[in-house]
Every structure is written in structure tokens, then in C-alpha cells.
Amino acid sequence: MDISEFCRLLETNIKDIYNLGDGTASSTESKPIFCNHCQRPLVKPTTVLFGRKLPSQFFECVQKDLPQMDLLIIAGTSLVVSPANSRVYQCPKSTKRVVVNHEAVGEDLGIDYTGKDEGRDFFAQGSCDDVFLDLAVELGWLQYLLDDIDELPPSSAKLLRERKKSTETV
């Protein structure tokens, strides 16, 4: 399904339980999104929903990548759902950990924002979109994102256009 169409259907068919939208969603309860080809209610984001198993590739990659990991980026999560949250304490002691989130999380898993652990853990407070866009700008990657702006969801494209304008006026 075209990403723009999917985003539009999400806004109109899925109840905004976090009140993050602009209030124009017409749905007071969630309704299924039907596949354009088979007309079955099977369209969903490519995320693992609570209570569902992670793909086997996750576990294969963890076994291969975890021992040699030098950076773990933890983004937009409460770190309360296993097994993904266990990667925080299973990575090597030398692995730097960056948490991108609205609030600090993971202290009960060993993340230490005080700096006692030689600065291993870093907290980048804010929305994932804003923090990662700041990083892309700092790394000089803004043009790469702009090159693919039409492939982004509308809210991300809007944020990117706003950032481009603000960097042009500085």
C-alpha cells in the first residue's frame, strides 16, 4: 500500500489514544484497514505488536552482532517489554548506549545517566524525529533526507521542510 494512503487511513481509521493528532480524526474507535488487493483486514504497520513474537532474524542478528557492538541506540521506548529490553544489559560493558526518548528510561536495567560509568550512557531528550533530525543536520546528511522527502510520511516531510527553512535563514 502506498505510504501516503496508509498514513491517511491510519488517521481516519485508528483511534488516537494518546491525543497526538490534530483532533480531526473521524474515528472514535479503531476500525480495520483493508488490503487494496484482497480486501481483507490485514494491513498493519511493520512493527511487532504486544504479545506477538519477534521475527527469528532478530535473534539471529543478536547472536551475531551483540558481542561486537560498540554503540546501542535505544529510541522511543519505555524499555519494559522483553526480550528487546534485555539487550540493554546484555551488550558488552564497553558498548556506549544512547537513549532517545521524552523521558529517561532503563535505570532499572543498569542505564546510568549520572556519568559514574565513564560516560557510557547518554540521554538525548526529545522526540525521536527531532533528535535524529538534529543528528542528521550535524552530520551533514540533511540533503540526503531532502532527496527522498516524497517517500516520507507527511508529518516527517513537514518537519524536514521546516528544518530546511530554519537552516536557510541562519
CATH number of the domain that residue 88 is part of = 3.40.50.1220
Please give the residue that has the higher pLDDT: either 52 or 92. Answer: 92
**Whether the model pTM is above 0.75:** no
Backbone angles phi, psi at 39, to 5 degrees: 65, 20
When pLDDT is cut at 50, 70 and 90, the band that residue 89 belongs to is very high
When pLDDT is cut at 50, 70 and 90, the band that residue 75 belongs to is very high
Do 38 and 58 reside in the same domain of the chain? Answer: no
Q: How far is CA 112 from CA 108, 117, 121, 139, in A?
A: 9, 7, 6, 26
When pLDDT is cut at 50, 70 and 90, the band that residue 80 belongs to is confident
Do 35 and 84 reside in the same domain of the chain? Answer: no
Do 136 and 112 reside in the same domain of the chain? Answer: no
Q: What is the dihedral of CA 12, 147, 102, 27, to 10 degrees?
A: 0
Do 159 and 121 reside in the same domain of the chain? Answer: no
Q: What is the dihedral of CA 156, 79, 87, 92, to 10 degrees?
A: 100
Residue type at position 31: K
Do 106 and 86 reside in the same domain of the chain? Answer: yes
65 SS3 class: helix
Do 117 and 146 reside in the same domain of the chain? Answer: no
Residue of 71, 131, 124 whose CA lies nearest to 99: 124
pLDDT of residue 111: 94
Backbone angles phi, psi at 62, to 5 degrees: -60, -45
- Domain containing 64 equals 53-126
pLDDT digits (tens, 9 = 90+) for 125-162: 999 999 999 999 999 999 999 999 998 888 888 999 99
pLDDT of residue 30 exceeding 80 = no
Instruction: Find the DSSP H helices in the chain.
Output: 3-13, 56-65, 87-90, 128-138, 142-147, 154-168
pLDDT of residue 47: 59
pLDDT digits (tens, 9 = 90+) for 42-71: 766 655 556 667 788 888 988 999 999 999
Residue type at position 148: D
pLDDT of residue 103 exceeding 80 = yes
Total domains in the chain come to 3
pLDDT digits (tens, 9 = 90+) for 4-24: 888 888 788 877 666 666 555
